[in-house]
A = this chain, B = another copy of it.
Amino acid sequence: MNFGPEGGAETGRISLVGAGPGAADLLTIRALRALQSADVVLYDRLISPEVLELIDPRAERLFVGKEVGACAWPQQAINQLMVALAQSGKYVVRLKSGDPNVFGRADEERVAADHAGIPIEVIPGITAASAAAASLGQSLTSRGVSDRVIFATGTCREGDAPPDIATLLQPGSSVALYMATKMAGALREQLLAAGFPAQMAVEVVASASTPSERQLRTTVGCLPEAMKDAGISHPAIIFLRAAKEVSGAELTTETRGLAPV
């Protein structure tokens, strides 16, 4: 327990910090400062070693992720630990890969902190789709071609229906599918059944921005086999695009990913 200058017990605080996609220099300056002033850092499996190196050496580091083949820390246990550490006066950084607001369960941790009366903030991070798009050299939106981008996940809460990508993929849309490597086969079936062509372009980027980054450009028809051949596994982003109906003369960008509409 720390005590403030008046001798009273001092409550700590919590920052949910986006670690970005993996490259240490894709952290924000605000995130770096949080890592350098934290008393304790709770981190996940996907946090890269080079990001962990930025943590103040005096800070305590606690791994709360899921080892391959082992049980994950239940979310509630993470919430309780995080709150208890802050209640003992510490500045707790909860380090999450990507952006805490995108598939990061930030709201569950925020509710736990709010219930305990602990100040909590979110420091946003570069989400994987953004880094993957930068690596591919392909925008998430493209004026006159795709006016919206949809971040969806292939890993929903147990019992929830998987995402209906074919319906999301309206003309003018790009879809970035997170945590979807296991549903590549189901995705192909879904898209073909909805009338998308087997030769429709798909891009996959695994471990964007890290030394183990892999890119794959393939088609819907070949997706599961091509991913297997390329050795692509979690974490990866699968990109799909359905362009608006445009005339060739209007196009200022590549037309890959065009779906018949």
Contacts and interface: CB of A to CB of B under 8 A. Distances in A.
Interface of A: 20, 23-30, 32-33, 99-108, 110-111, 120-127, 130-131, 133-134, 137-144, 147-153, 156-157, 160, 163, 167-168, 170, 244, 252-254
A102 B252 CA distance: 17
A163 B134 contact: no
12 contacts: A102-B139, A102-B141, A124-B131, A125-B130, A127-B130, A144-B156, A144-B157, A147-B163, A148-B151, A148-B152, A149-B150, A151-B151
B168 A253 contact: no
Contacts of A125: 126, 130
Contacts of A106: 139
A173 to B, nearest CB: 8
Nearest to A124: B130
A150 B127 CA distance: 14
Contacts of A160: 144, 147, 244
Nearest to A98: B130
Contacts of A24: 29
Nearest to A79: B252
A167 B143 CA distance: 20
A188 to B, nearest CB: 19
Contacts of A147: 152-153, 156, 160, 163
